């Protein structure tokens, strides 16, 4: 056993069930590249990345990690890392280049994913498929504003989903409709930092609603037409970090921390998991946003409530939350809360990484897992968790083929977070999966290639995007060997 494993509480050994799912997650736009190959149509991220000043290093995802060509060797590598499952997303515009319900299918795109799925199954790695990880077909944005038009968008998303269930559902048993609908709405329509780059005080709430409703209809479609034969499950993945009161003795900060979680998580989870038997947005959001927050029709309530049987959890870090004085500004989308790196006693939230918002904070993750379980009471599937490492991007690139990159900080991050997850499991929280973000260093959206989240180093300068394992990949495997009952 390595020194890291020896630091685990021996009582946690074998604490996770033998069928526990663990593996790695990626997203199409971040790894595939080949953005114009074999008939693929552009997505809003392709267009957005070409606008001046939008991406930190001026890059585009045109070739990303060359995953479109290296998928076979990537799967072999994943096998070597011991992964039991792989969560990846489909590029909608690779499958239907123009995206719409009456638009032609690109059979080459379908074939690409079909081959990938077959290879995973051959290697006994279970595919988990995300239908939408932020890369809306550009044509739908141009046609009717994408998610701003709930009716037309939902019809198009339903047809795309149906096609995926028809073509892949015989082999794919784990479906995720949306990855982080809150991020799509906030960063894309309020902050303007993500595609399509809007800064509005009404659109985020419309876009959030469109995602919830279209998610509901896709779940209904799957459960009605496919699940009886295919026997898979369908869910949504939500982003959410932990918010701790800046001053735990100040009730206004205690409330602010709770409100921050409601604006981030409750926004989607309350309607889906039916808080108090109701399908509605949190009261704190309605109080602040009034009628800018859409109202669910009876029909929408029917399809949204209970649509997802498990909670898809993406989480990385924790913040201290302090209430803001005075009435919230109209452009506020966080619940009139300020997020801080230290609490009122100067206690930092955790060690820094290469990513401004991300600090290592396993203490917050431990609390968040319990908060979700207590509030929603459905099994939790952890679909993303991971970190960048301070200085890793600027640090020396591996020089020799096969060299292993040392990343002790990332290994420690996984060690600490997994130990908290195992403790929560032992206490009775039902947790079914853990996917580390990410398998490869990849194109980190508006941060371009500057934030390395992978357990595999990618040499972006090399034409092939050569890969090198990092030590944390082997550490993660070792940790799961410890935690999972043999
Ligand atoms: C997203 C990923 C992203 C990761 C790290 C999540 O919000 O789903 O696409 O790369 O966090 O920022």
Q: Backbone phi, then psi, for 484, in 5-degree steps?
A: -85, 130
Name the 3-class secondary structure at 129: strand
pLDDT tens-digit series, residues 68-91: 999 999 999 999 999 999 999 999
CB-based burial, 427-464: b 16+ in 10 Å, e otherwise: eebebbbbbbbbbbbbbbbbbbbbbbbbbbbbebeeee
CB-ligand 1 contact for 103 (6 Å cutoff): no
Count of C-beta atoms within a 10 Å radius of residue 278: 12
Domain 3-242+260-315+356-481 CATH assignment equals 3.40.50.300: no
Residue 274 has what pLDDT? 86
- pLDDT over threshold 80, residue 4: no
CA 272 / ligand 1 centre spacing (Å): 22
The string of pLDDT tens digits covering residues 337-380 is 999 999 999 999 999 999 999 999 999 999 999 999 999 999 99
Distance, CA 31 to ligand 1 centroid (Å)?
A: 12
426 pLDDT higher than 90: yes
pLDDT at residue 308 above 70?
A: yes
Give me the pLDDT at residue 275, please. Answer: 76
Catalytic residue among 180, 258, 264, 444: 180
Q: What is the pLDDT of residues 27-43, one digit of tens each?
A: 999 999 999 999 999 99
* CA atoms in the 13 A half-sphere facing the CB of 419: 16
Q: What are the tens digits of pLDDT across the range 316-340?
A: 999 999 999 999 999 999 999 999 9
- Read off the pLDDT of residues 146-176 as tens digits, 9 standing for 90 and up: 999 999 999 999 999 999 999 999 999 999 9
Q: What does the pLDDT look like over 128-154, one tens digit per residue? A: 999 999 999 999 999 999 999 999 999
318 lines ligand 1 (CB under 6 A): no
Tell me what percent of the residues of the chain surpass a pLDDT of 90.
96
Surface-to-core class of residue 149, CB atoms within 10 Å of its CB (0-12 exposed, 13-18 middle, 19+ buried): middle
Q: What's 459's DSSP letter?
A: -
pLDDT value, residue 165: 99
Task: Parse the chain into domains and list their residue ranges.
Answer: 3-242+260-315+356-481
pLDDT at residue 1, rounded to an integer: 67
pLDDT for residue 6 is more than 80: no
- At residue 52, the pLDDT reads 98
Calculate mean pLDDT across residues 187-212. Answer: 98
Establish whether 478 is a catalytic residue: no
Mean pLDDT (whole number) for 85-104 = 99
Average pLDDT over all residues of the chain: 97
3-state SS assignment for residue 320: strand
Q: Using the predicted structure, report yes or no on whether residue 397 has a pLDDT greater than 90.
A: no
Residue 395 has a pLDDT of 85
From atom 12 of ligand 1, which residue's Cα is the shortest distance away?
444
Round to whole Å and give the CA distance between 40 and 60.
16
Told to judge if 180 belongs to the known catalytic residues of this protein, a careful annotator would answer yes
């Amino acid at each position: 056993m390595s020194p890291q494993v020896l630091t685990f509480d021996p009582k946690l050994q074998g604490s996770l069930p033998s069928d526990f799912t663990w593996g790695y997650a990626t997203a199409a736009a971040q790894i595939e590249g080949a953005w114009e190959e074999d008939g693929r149509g552009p997505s809003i991220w392709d267009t957005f990345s070409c606008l001046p000043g939008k991406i930190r290093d001026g890059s585009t995802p045109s070739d990303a990690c060359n995953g479109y060509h290296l998928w076979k060797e990537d799967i072999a590598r994943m096998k070597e890392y011991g992964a039991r499952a792989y969560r990846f997303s489909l590029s909608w515009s690779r499958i239907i280049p123009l995206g719409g319900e009456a638009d032609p299918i690109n059979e080459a795109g379908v074939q690409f994913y079909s081959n990938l799925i077959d290879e995973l199954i051959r290697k006994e790695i279970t595919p988990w498929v995300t239908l939408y990880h932020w890369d809306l077909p550009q044509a739908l944005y141009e046609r009717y504003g994408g998610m701003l038009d709930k009716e037309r968008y939902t019809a198009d998303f339903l047809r795309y989903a149906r096609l995926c269930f028809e073509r892949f559902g015989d082999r794919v048993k784990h479906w995720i409709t949306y990855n982080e609908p809150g991020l799509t709405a906030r960063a894309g329509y309020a902050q303007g930092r993500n595609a399509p780059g809007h800064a509005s005080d009404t659109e985020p709430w419309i876009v959030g609603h469109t995602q919830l409703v279209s998610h509901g209809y896709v779940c209904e479609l799957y459960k009605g037409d496919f699940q009886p034969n295919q026997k898979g499950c369908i869910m949504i993945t939500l982003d959410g970090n932990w918010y701790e009161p800046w001053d735990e003795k100040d009730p206004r900060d205690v409330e602010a921390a709770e409100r921050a979680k409601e604006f981030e998580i409750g926004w989607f989870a309350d309607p889906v998991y039916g808080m108090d038997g109701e399908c509605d947005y949190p009261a704190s959001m309605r109080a602040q946003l009034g009628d800018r927050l859409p109202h669910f029709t009876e029909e929408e309530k029917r399809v949204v409530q209970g649509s997802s049987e498990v909670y898809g959890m993406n989480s990385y870090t924790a913040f201290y939350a302090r209430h803001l004085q005075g009435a919230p500004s109209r452009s506020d989308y966080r619940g009139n809360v300020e997020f801080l790196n230290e609490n009122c006693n100067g206690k930092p939230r955790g060690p820094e990484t290469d990513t401004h918002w991300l600090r290592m904070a396993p203490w917050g993750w431990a609390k968040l897992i319990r908060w979700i379980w207590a509030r929603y009471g459905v099994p939790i599937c952890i679909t993303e968790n991971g970190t960048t490492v301070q200085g890793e991007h600027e640090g020396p690139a591996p020089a020799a083929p096969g060299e292993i990159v040392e990343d002790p900080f990332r290994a420690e991050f996984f060690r600490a977070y997994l130990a908290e997850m195992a403790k929560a499991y032992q206490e009775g929280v039902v947790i079914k999966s853990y996917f580390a973000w990410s398998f490869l260093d990849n194109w980190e959206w508006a941060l371009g290639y500057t934030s390395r989240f992978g357990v595999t180093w990618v040499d972006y300068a090399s034409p092939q995007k050569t890969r090198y394992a990092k030590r944390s990949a082997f550490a993660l495997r070792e940790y799961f060997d410890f935690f999972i009952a043999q």
